[in-house]
A and B are shown apart, each in its own frame.
Chain A
Amino acid sequence: MTDAAPELDPVIHAQARLRVMVTLNTLCEGDEMAFPSLKELLGMTAGNLSVHLSKLEEAEYVRIVKTHKGRTPVTYVAMTRRGRAALEDYTRAIRALLDTAGGTA
């Protein structure tokens, strides 16, 4: 019997969303990132980023907070605990794939 390949989380397994998750994961718990900063760090368009963020929000991996700074609406994004755990599992699965690919030859 061979070991089954580890399952990869389909929500994270799209490069754009993986990069969103990695960026938000560098923040400490209790911190949120401004939407324009996230957009700039990822080099994505606002529309594209919004689509990916709603998929991540649906999976409860990120939390989106819409608020106001004076009269300007501002959006902040933070990673949830569930999101951090999912990214950790995903990274572990990728490493395991690498090990099986390199270790059983």
Chain B
Amino acid sequence: MTDDGERVPSPEETLRVIEQQRAVTNRALQPDPLRMYVPWGVAWLLGFTAFFLHYGLNGEPYAPISQMQALAVLMIAQVAAGSVAAYEIARMSSHTRGDNQVKGTMYGYTWFAGMALMIVIAMRVSPLLPPELSGLLWAGGTLTVVAILYMAGGAVWLQWPMFFIGVWIAGVNGLGLMLGAGWHALLTAVLLGGGQIAAGLWLWRRS
């Protein structure tokens, strides 16, 4: 008996208790992949499919969607995904305070600074570009910020899946930028939108 009058568990039972409790805690303190990755995947799949249909692969649109309409689809879906992610981050950070919360705050401001500067650059430069290249500047620039911040987030919290999703975004973005606006939209919709949905579901099943 222990000093609390409990029955003494066997060493096997004790190790099992340790493992179970560790798993329960990690699930609560780490982001739910279904809420972190899948909404962004859906947003990019919808938004960049709209852009792909607008550009086409040979300069001919596949559907009568204007650039502004495609942008509206992407922005609305991204705002929805961002709200889900913000809710998830708030849920996680409500459990603890300390260094981890400070990291999260700095990381949040880094996102804001990266995106704000990207928008300023694109607004200054895009009037000088033909429509296709201006679209590529907005999409490619935004994805560059996202890729770098995923990789940096992986480094801050030692999260390999997050780091590798960042590497994947960087690679696909680079390839799309070289191939042109139509290809960039297609690759982003399928490989990054679909890819994040697949990664989110896979990580969720594994957790």
Known: A13-B2, A23-B21, A41-B28. A32 touches B98 (CB 8 A): yes
Classify chain B's interface size: 20 to 34
Can you list, as one digit per residue, whether each of B1-30 has a CB less than 8 Å from chain A (1) or not (0)? 011101011011011011001101110110
Question: Which of A33, A42, A91 has the largest count of B CB atoms less than 10 A from its CB?
Answer: A33
Can you list, as one digit per residue, whether each of B68-102 has a CB less than 8 Å from chain A (1) or not (0)? 00000000000000000000000000111111110
B99 near A41 (CB under 8 angstroms)?
no
Q: Which of A14, A34, A41, A76 contacts B24 (CB 8 A)?
A: A41
Q: Is A26 in contact with chain B by the CB < 8 A criterion?
A: yes
B17 near A31 (CB under 8 angstroms)?
no
On chain B, the residues within 8 Å of A34 by CB distance are 94-97
On chain A, the residues within 8 Å of B8 by CB distance are 13
Cα–Cα distance between A15 and B100 once the two chains are bound (Å): 28
On chain A, the residues within 8 Å of B15 by CB distance are 91, 94-95, 98
Q: Is A105 in contact with chain B by the CB < 8 A criterion?
A: no
Q: Is A97 in contact with chain B by the CB < 8 A criterion?
A: yes
Cα–Cα distance between A101 and B101 once the two chains are bound (Å): 43
A98 near B25 (CB under 8 angstroms)?
no
Cα–Cα distance between A73 and B98 once the two chains are bound (Å): 17
Whole-angstrom distance between the Cβ of B101 and the nearest chain A Cβ: 8
Q: Is A78 in contact with chain B by the CB < 8 A criterion?
A: yes
B14 near A18 (CB under 8 angstroms)?
yes
B22 near A32 (CB under 8 angstroms)?
no
A98 near B98 (CB under 8 angstroms)?
no
Q: Is A81 in contact with chain B by the CB < 8 A criterion?
A: no
Question: Which of A15, A27, A42 has the largest count of B CB atoms less than 10 A from its CB?
Answer: A15
B18 near A37 (CB under 8 angstroms)?
no
Cα–Cα distance between A26 and B26 once the two chains are bound (Å): 7
Cα–Cα distance between A62 and B106 once the two chains are bound (Å): 28
Nearest residue (CB) in A for B4 is: A14
Q: Is A10 in contact with chain B by the CB < 8 A criterion?
A: yes
- Report A's interface with B, CB cutoff 8 A: 10, 13-16, 18-19, 22-23, 26-34, 37, 41-42, 76, 78, 91, 94-95, 97-98, 101
9 contacts between A and B (CB under 8 A): A10-B3, A23-B24, A31-B101, A32-B98, A34-B97, A37-B96, A42-B21, A95-B15, A101-B11
- Report B's interface with A, CB cutoff 8 A: 2-4, 6, 8-9, 11-12, 14-15, 17-18, 21-22, 24-26, 28-29, 94-101
Known: A22-B18, A28-B100, A32-B96. 12 other contacts (CB 8 A): A14-B3, A15-B6, A15-B14, A18-B21, A22-B17, A22-B25, A28-B98, A29-B99, A30-B98, A31-B101, A37-B94, A41-B24
